[in-house]
Chain A
């Protein structure tokens, strides 16, 4: 109860603190709304807070990763792109930039972020889609919780793991390759880990979304998934394995559309999204790992975790690795 009260007080204080250039707010109000195309989920509380703080409505169109590029490019080519602001994994926005969909813009709020958050003249990042082993704390004894990624290859996890299909799920493919480049001493050790993981016959699902359900219900014990589910699925008995190596993930990026129908509302929305207030909501309510210094999701132990962005793999490389993982995990 106290925690909820504290959170509400924090949110209220944060909302009151947002201040933007009054002339920008005025122009944005004249445009009435900002259209937001995004693949990030459960962000409605930020949109409501934006409307309350600025008087401008945020209209959210949710596009899954697999439909993002085709929808945005189709609308762009037909000159019907309704989006003012776009949010997607970094590689998607880089591709859209190549096609001329994005506008050059550097939000003032980025000053508070690490320098690498502004990727180029168009794209800025605000968070990392962080991945970690999550487990059912009612079923897994504390002594058995993995301490390193290599522990997932232990035969005691046979038929107890669930993960997104490593032959197709782009983020999982990137994460596995990221482990090779950042967490393992050499490729041989990494391949040993992969063989052990494959020998444990993990159950595959289409994406990260369906990974927590089998853990909650006890069908499986441990998942390669995202710690944010500990927040969004509370009070499910989920916890994350505090591995000694860093946690890795792909950067979450954002940009303004070059042909934004409401350019001022777009700029105001970007400023608000990057503000301490919005990032607090994103971390507290959605469990996201954000780049704004000093803000963490309410997950025990996450403040001391090292969370690193992995290299963005081009599609060609993702497909090549996908084909290799298909063989390695013995998938038809």
Chain B
């Protein structure tokens, strides 16, 4: 135990808070997972049957399972490595340097989280499929090649798209940590004669270790649960990972056994728990990562000088090719009656018909309203819970707080196509079933780490002495929280809220099983268009979703900046 939790009264308060949160978070996340685990150990199709281990024997006795595990390992670790490196590069340039166009680059880094994942994957297929992908056709023309140089239906293709989809998660975890980085540490290193490279390797990156690990682990866990990339890019390339293997188990037959799917899903759950434990081990001595203390905190901006223009161009090009281009493809598809390669015929057939149909569809409008409500309200409620959980995780480093951290990951770690059924089995026994409340609580329970990770990575850098000094000066807990802790956490709060709100706006796994007439949400409506093959309407509604999420991101950013200015922390 460290920091301000020292007096018996405070210790009691912390214990009570930790206990309360373990019960609350546990109830929300354990119940659906427990029902799934029961299902994996029960005969028949439901959660309650005679106990058996046969589902585990069948699931893990498959001779092809080794290949699936290998693919899953390469896919998740590869995605996490590419994503974290790219996010670190962009977050560093955006928060610590004077690179121009910061707002635009920051916005572009967040775009993939606003696009329905299935649409983002379809865009990449239209760009890089080996038959007539637009980028491949361009490269063949320019380079005079006989065949397409890039094939999206490969493991590297899957890694690229998954890394881009998860980029906002890593960016929003890393950016607050970089914002809270005290530049005097780097200055001291340079004063002692270290080069910029040595300072980066020996000071900057080690201090950022919790945030980097946080982002890396979060992306691994997310890509383990991801279904869009394995389905749209993996299955056509015959590359099966855990999520598509589970889908195969569920889809083969008319009465899918979610218990057996859950038995496979426990591998993902076990991997996530191991990763969380590993993360806690690697960041056990939290003091080493503190950069904001009572001794003074000064975030500083690095002058790029001669590197300014080349770096701006590099980031601009990267953002355009990797993020803006797929979104432009969506705009193009939304104007067409069916998918086709650009050309005279395509331009002649362009119209706003898809847009008119989407905007006149009462279910789409209702879905839009519900999603907006869930995004704004759900994220606000989620962040309040996330704040208390993060505080306990970072400040009360006990066995119970470790348990709380693991619990917060429980439903998040289960592959999406299975966890939805866990929530169905849970909510059907409550009066919330079939209401928007079920979706709201389900979202918060399933995506709690989106609120917790940015807050913990920022909180871990704020020394507990600040809170202690405040209390020594006579301030109560709430005053300390309001005047000291929250102002320093503004970037983390903004990041977490954005992550949660945009996730809730495009959430599908839970929505598809819990949404009923009257509680339709955007992602379910998008799935309907996708199942009907109505790509034009799908793209139009996807763009509406991007616009809503963009508005939420811009508003959150402006509010955050205004709060930072009010606290005198602008530039941090």
Contacts and interface: CB of A to CB of B under 8 A. Distances in A.
Interface of A: 35, 41-42, 59-62, 64-71, 73-75, 77-78, 80, 82, 89, 91-92, 95, 159, 162, 165, 167-170, 173, 203-207, 209-210, 212-214, 216-220, 229, 232-233, 235-236, 315, 318-319, 322, 326, 330-332
Main secondary structure of the interface of A (DSSP, over half): mixed
A18 B68 CA distance: 55
Nearest to A35: B517
B513 A331 contact: no
B428 A74 contact: yes
B389 interface: no
Contacts of A78: 428-429, 433
B254 A165 contact: no
Nearest to A62: B528
Interface stretch (B90-98, B201-209, B212-220, B232-240): B232-240
Nearest to A94: B254
Contact of A67 (B45, B132, B512): B512
Interface in B57-85: 64, 67-68, 71
B305 interface: no
Contacts, number: 149
A332 B238 contact: yes
B447 interface: no
A95 B253 CA distance: 12
Contacts of A41: 528, 531-532
B156 interface: no
Nearest to A322: B252
Contacts of B531: 41, 64, 207, 209
B517 A61 contact: yes
B338 A315 contact: no
Nearest to A89: B254
The bracket for how many chain B residues form the interface is 35 or more
27 contacts: A60-B517, A64-B512, A66-B247, A66-B251, A67-B256, A70-B258, A73-B46, A74-B428, A75-B428, A77-B46, A78-B429, A162-B236, A165-B248, A165-B251, A168-B248, A169-B251, A170-B253, A206-B235, A210-B530, A213-B339, A217-B338, A219-B132, A219-B133, A235-B349, A318-B252, A322-B252, A332-B67
Nearest to B239: A332
B532 A209 contact: yes
Nearest to B524: A62
A40 to B, nearest CB: 11
A70 B68 contact: no
Contacts of B133: 219
A170 B254 contact: yes
B258 A168 contact: no
A220 to B, nearest CB: 7
A65 B254 contact: yes
A218 B248 contact: no
B254 A91 contact: yes
A173 B131 CA distance: 27
B421 A70 contact: yes
Contacts of B235: 165, 204-206
